[in-house]
Amino acid sequence: MATEPTGGEEAATGLPQLDFSTFPNQIFWLLVTLVVIYLILDRIALPRIASVLAERQGTITNDIAAAEELKMKAAEAEKAYEKALADARAEAQEIAAKARAEIQEDLDAAIAKADAEIAARSAESEKKIAEIREGADAAVVEVAKDTAAALVAALGGTGSAAAIESAVERKTKG
């Protein structure tokens, strides 16, 4: 500051930044400040942030792994579901087939039974018809015998009962 531009007092014109009398003060307080900031950061803030970031990274990794696992589980569950579905479908088919077979069997049995019954009934009926027919034949013979006897009597003939009978029998059988 040998020649002041305007020759005035130093503080008014000189640059405050080049006023070396304040340097020790500024440097001292700067060093204090920097050391304090450094200690705050190094001891408290940075480890904390680093741990938080690491924790977050870990959480994210874990979550991704968990998601992967869940996805795998979901795939497994889907597979199991599909298997169960296929099983169920097969079982249903089996059951249906069995039911169908049973029904068929029942039906067959019922039909057979019905057929047998029908056959029995028709046999019986035939037998009855035959009986009736036989009965009727016998009755006819009887009636013929009676009629013949009555006719013979009415005509004034006399014939032995045995002769009439044999004659009627001859006629009816012929």
Q: Which residues bind another protein (CB under 8 A)?
A: 1-3, 5-7, 11, 13-19, 21-34, 36-38, 40-42, 44-46, 48-53, 55-56, 59
**Are 140 and 120 a contacting pair, CB within 8 Å?**
no
Closest CB to another protein among 45 and 151? 45
Closest CB to another protein among 40 and 123? 40
The distance of closest approach from Cβ of residue 84 to another protein in the complex, given in angstroms and rounded to an integer, is 39
The distance of closest approach from Cβ of residue 66 to another protein in the complex, given in angstroms and rounded to an integer, is 15
* H helical segments located in 14-45: 23-39
Note the residue count of the chain.
Answer: 174
Closest CB to another protein among 56 and 127? 56
Question: Which uninterrupted H or E stretch holds 21?
Answer: none
Measure the CA–CA gap between 145 and 152, rounded to whole angstroms.
10
The distance of closest approach from Cβ of residue 75 to another protein in the complex, given in angstroms and rounded to an integer, is 29
Measure the CA–CA gap between 143 and 149, rounded to whole angstroms.
10
